[in-house]
Amino acid sequence: MNKKQRRALSQLMLSGPYTVWMAGFIVIPLFLIVYYGMTTKAGAFTWENITAITSSVNLKALWLSVELSFICTVICLVLSYPLAMILANSKMKNSSLTAFLFILPMWMNALLRTLAWLTLLENNGVINTVLKAIGLPAIHIINTPTAIVFGMVYNYIPFMILPIYNVLVKLDRNVINAARDLGANAVQTFLRVILPLSVPGIISGITMVFVPSLTTFAISDILGGSKILLLGNIIEQKFKTANNWHAGSGLSLVLMVFIIITMVVSSHYEKDGESASVW
Amino acid sequence: MVRFGKFLKGFYVALMGIFLYAPILTLIVLSFNASKSRAKWSGFTFKWYAALFENEAILQSLWNTIIIALVSSLVATLIGTMASIAMNRMKKLPRQVMMGITNIPMLNADIVTGISLMLLFIMTDFAPGFTSVLLAHITFNIPYVILSVLPKLKQTDRNVFEAAQDLGATPISAFMKVVLPDIFPGILSGFLLAFTMSLDDFVITHFTKGAGVDTISTKVYTELRKGIKPEMYALSTLMFAAVLILLVLINRRRATHEQTVNH
Amino acid sequence: MSDKLIDLINISKSYDGQVVLDEMDLYIRDNEFLTLLGPSGCGKTTTLRIIGGFETPDTGKVIFQGKDITNLPPNQRDLNTVFQKYALFTHMTVEENIAFGLRIKKKSRQYIKDKIDYALKLVNLDGYGKRSVDSLSGGQQQRIAIARAIVNEPKLLLLDEPLGALDLKLRQDMQYELIRLKNELGITFIYVTHDQEEALTMSDTIVVMNQGYIQQIGSPEAIYNEPKNAFVADFIGESNIIDGIMIEDKLVRILGAKFPCVDTGFGTNRPVDVVIRPEDVELVAPEAGTIAGTVTSLIFKGVHYEMDVMANGYEWLVHSTKMFPVGEAVGIHVDPFNIQIMNKPESEDEEAVTIDE
């Protein structure tokens, strides 16, 4: 065996397992969704599983999913940007510690943490008890879409904070100084320099918040009291309760269209397609 | 004016901190609550901690969670590191194709990944159970390993590998002695990331598991309707405390290590 | 050249208890090319940042054209900065970068366009306006950073090691380019560098700084030929710095031999530092020199030979166009005019530090 052949062989041995794995567990399964989504139980071709989205229940769920995840993304962005800015400008430049503080909660089971909000937000929950004690009106949001948005924001806001923080903390101080030097005041510097330069972080944060909140079913289960159905809930029921994989796959295809749109938009802004955005 | 701004900033950070940590505190408090109810406090107790160690079902789910996380992240680290080395040497186009596919499980919604794997097991008549969950976890763990290792490999100077061979090492021993130590931090962080993701996963496990096999996440989800057993609060408090202590220890060791390096 | 454009009075600054500038006074004349020169950590960049408005001094005042601007934010100062590593706006094109300051000032479209054209011509980057900043080389980015600053017609341009990231050839080209630019614009430059050659080439005035203190202010010739202390002598070019005793006016003893010199007023029998530039050491026949020694190393440097000569326990650095092989016995002679006598440093702060750049 000559050197070239040896090299080709080692390359094959190294990449082989993953290539097979990728094909078998990533690519083929995705095509299976397409296959199931476009066939009947008998195996015949059909559009019906996909057009089922136009039924009033499904359409309502889709619309609610889009609406709530949109609101959630906006709230996350509005809350995260100032926080990321404060953290990035703070003397404590220890970025690993900062990231650590926002990742740490993720080590406690997410479902349980979401459930804890139920205890806090309930009509007779902790927050209302406190509000009552200081003479403020109680809030009644449990089992409403508001509570679901609340849970989404809570679960996914770290994914907005971290990418924005990472961009801001790497910003060259002198670029900001240069803007000031050229006559821009604080507001102009923010709008014309800092904000545009942090767009990659914002976009990556938006994707990482929008996609999971669009597709969640657990949060709506817990905080929506099983009365409010998101598209995720409907798909989950089709698969796990109704065992109707064809109908579930059809609706998943609709969901995937939204996910793909989000990814295409975000990849447009990402300069280096080979880097992980959060970590 | 400046002081007021400073106060406002501190206040905001504190508020966000409360937002993120309030539920954790709640769960910790609930784990010591004498009453089974989430709604009211009826005195301090350790009894749920005692009960936890007698609850076979919860302990079994803890065991499953840890074994699945450990095995899946180890396998993923092995396959992912090998793939990274190969990808680092590839031409641009095949590498980008591989990278594009690697990104799919990361960027895709968990529910889609979950059902796609569920369909795979249905299609192949593979009985869902422990193994199917393990395979699914390996699948979504590999990308985290690759994304941690590949950047390290890119930073590694090719000349180092070649210099080792020039000095008489075989390619394999050159890799083991020179490249591997260099990329080891990437491999380690990839492994830890994969382990965390596996531990934290609910959705994909939910769709790929068989009846009777539960991880902590899926166990919590089934209990949601019936009412959560307080032992669960005790377990999650213990796990959180363990992780916190571990991370503080690692951080302290790193800090003292950096100090010795600096001086 | 008599008006004070900028006047720094009693400026002090410290970070975390570490003094960076200690009660510094310095003024800069209109239309001067002034260079702040010193090793890293000497306070030169901090001085520049205080003038630019990016740092507030702990004590002291910054007077600009007769007005106190100490607490004025950078955007309200009539001066501009060319930053280290350029600090260009990567999300904008070359044109947008240059137009930034003018757009903030709400200048007319036509005015901005003319200014961009003018500035691009001035820095020899005609036709690069639509390019993205990332597509330019380091040297080109440097020129854009300069263009971006000067279109605002500042009275004063601050340059913070602007050539530090460029390779040697490009750096030399840019030095002449900067001198040309300054002459064309007729504005004042304050230039920060740790490169003594750069400072000698470009400046009207050099301010040598070390550990927060000004060591010497003077023209390049004065700084090179008459360094005030051992630090300056050591930092500016290569030198033989030897302990000596000033026996009387115009006579100094070094390494056991008496050398006639031209300095007076040091008193009698006082310890001093003696500076002799390597090109001022003349090698002659052993018996013809003031002291005798042996050549210990010889390197051909192109324009001259560099030799080490061991004589009376000191290794002399010698630059000469005449070659003496290693091992040859030689005499050392120094023209009295080329011997520079300096007071020993009185405090630790004045002491020469090792320069590791």
ipTM of the complex: 0.84
Q: What is the pLDDT of residues C285-304, one digit of tens each?
A: 988 889 999 999 999 988 89
Residue C89 has pLDDT above 80, yes or no: yes
Domains, chain C, ordered by start: 4-225 (3.40.50.300), 239-350 (2.40.50.140)
Question: Residues A129, A131, A133, A137: is their CA dihedral positive or negative?
Answer: negative
Residue B36 has pLDDT above 80, yes or no: no
CA–CA distance, B251 with B246 (Å, rounded to integer): 9
Q: How confident is the model at residue A272 (pLDDT cuts 50, 70, 90)?
A: very low
Single out the residue of C134, C131, C77 nearest to residue C101, CA to CA.
C77
Cβ <8 Å between C75 and A183: yes
Q: What is the pLDDT of residues B72-122, one digit of tens each?
A: 999 999 999 999 988 888 888 888 888 888 888 888 888 999 999 999 998
Single out the residue of B224, B252, B258 nearest to residue B38, CA to CA.
B224
Cβ <8 Å between B111 and A235: yes
Lowest mean pLDDT among A52-61, B159-168, C114-123, C197-206: B159-168
- From C293's Cα to the closest Cα of chain A, the distance in A is 54
Q: How confident is the model at residue B263 (pLDDT cuts 50, 70, 90)?
A: very low
**Residue C80 is nearest to which of A172, A182, A184, comparing CB atoms?**
A182
Q: What percent of chain B has pLDDT over 90?
A: 23
Q: What pLDDT, on the 0 to 100 scale, is given for residue B69? A: 93
Q: What pLDDT, on the 0 to 100 scale, is given for residue A275? A: 40
Residue C212 has pLDDT above 60, yes or no: yes
Q: Is A196 on the interface with C (CB under 8 A)?
A: yes
**Residue C87 is nearest to which of A175, A183, A196, comparing CB atoms?**
A175
* Over residues B43-55, mean pLDDT: 84
CA–CA distance, B131 with B126 (Å, rounded to integer): 9
Query: What are the structural domain ranges in chain A?
Result: 55-269
User: Higher model confidence: residue B156 or residue C173?
Assistant: C173
CA–CA distance, B204 with B112 (Å, rounded to integer): 9
Residue C284 has pLDDT above 50, yes or no: yes
Contacts of A98 in chain B (CB under 8 A): none
Query: Ranked by mean pLDDT, which of A179-183, B216-220, B229-233 comes out on top?
Result: A179-183
Q: What is the pLDDT of residues C118-127, one digit of tens each?
A: 999 988 888 8
Cβ <8 Å between A196 and C83: no
Walk across the sheet containing C251-254 and list its strands.
Answer: C257-260, C251-254, C240-248, C270-276, C340-343
Q: What is the pTM of this model?
A: 0.82
Contacts of C87 in chain A (CB under 8 A): 172, 174-175, 177-178
Contacts of B151 in chain A (CB under 8 A): 275
Q: What pLDDT, on the 0 to 100 scale, is given for residue B106? A: 84
How far does Cα B60 stand from its chain's mean position?
19
Cβ <8 Å between A197 and C89: yes
Q: What pLDDT, on the 0 to 100 scale, is given for residue C356? A: 38
CA–CA distance, C144 with C96 (Å, rounded to integer): 11
Residue C33 has pLDDT above 90, yes or no: yes
Q: What pLDDT, on the 0 to 100 scale, is given for residue C357? A: 34
Cβ <8 Å between B251 and A126: no
Q: Is A172 on the interface with C (CB under 8 A)?
A: yes
Tell which of A49, A96, A107, A220 to mutate to test the B interface (max B CBs under 10 Å).
Answer: A107
CATH number at B59-228: 1.10.3720.10
Lowest mean pLDDT among A40-54, C190-204, C273-287: A40-54
Tell which of A174, A181, A189, A272 to mutate to test the C interface (max C CBs under 10 Å).
Answer: A181
Contacts of A273 in chain B (CB under 8 A): 96, 99-100
* Over residues C50-66, mean pLDDT: 91
CA–CA distance, C196 with C37 (Å, rounded to integer): 7
Lowest mean pLDDT among A133-147, C32-46, C190-204, C239-253: A133-147
Query: Ranked by mean pLDDT, which of A255-264, B230-239, C107-116 comes out on top?
Result: C107-116
**Residue B202 is nearest to which of A11, A111, A274, comparing CB atoms?**
A111
Query: What are the structural domain ranges in chain B?
Result: 59-228
Chain A (113-152) residues lying within 8 Å, Cβ to Cβ, of chain C: none
H-helix or E-strand containing B112? helix B110-123
* Over residues A83-108, mean pLDDT: 75
Q: What pLDDT, on the 0 to 100 scale, is given for residue C346? A: 61
Residue A128 has pLDDT above 70, yes or no: yes
Chain B (75-114) residues lying within 8 Å, Cβ to Cβ, of chain A: 79-80, 82-83, 85-87, 89-90, 96, 98-102, 104-113
- From C40's Cα to the closest Cα of chain A, the distance in A is 18
Q: Is B192 on the interface with A (CB under 8 A)?
A: no
CA–CA distance, C308 with C317 (Å, rounded to integer): 5
Q: How confident is the model at residue A93 (pLDDT cuts 50, 70, 90)?
A: low
Within 13 Å and on the Cβ side, how many CA atoms surround C261? 26
pLDDT averaged over every residue in chain A: 85
User: Higher model confidence: residue A3 or residue C121?
Assistant: C121
Residue A238 has pLDDT above 80, yes or no: yes
**Residue A30 is nearest to which of B80, B116, B216, comparing CB atoms?**
B116
Q: Is C132 on the interface with A (CB under 8 A)?
A: no
Domain covering A55-269 assigned CATH 1.10.3720.10 in the classification? yes
Q: What is the pLDDT of residues B118-136, one digit of tens each?
A: 999 988 988 888 899 999 9
Q: Is A272 on the interface with C (CB under 8 A)?
A: no
Contacts of B118 in chain A (CB under 8 A): 239, 245
Q: What percent of chain A has pLDDT over 70?
A: 93
Q: What pLDDT, on the 0 to 100 scale, is given for residue A270? A: 64
Q: What pLDDT, on the 0 to 100 scale, is given for residue B252? A: 77
Hey, which chains touch A, using 3+ CB pairs under 8 Å?
B, C
Question: What is the token pair recorded at C322?
Answer: 């005449």
**Residue B116 is nearest to which of A29, A79, A83, comparing CB atoms?**
A29
Contacts of C100 in chain A (CB under 8 A): 179, 182, 184, 192
Q: How confident is the model at residue A277 (pLDDT cuts 50, 70, 90)?
A: very low
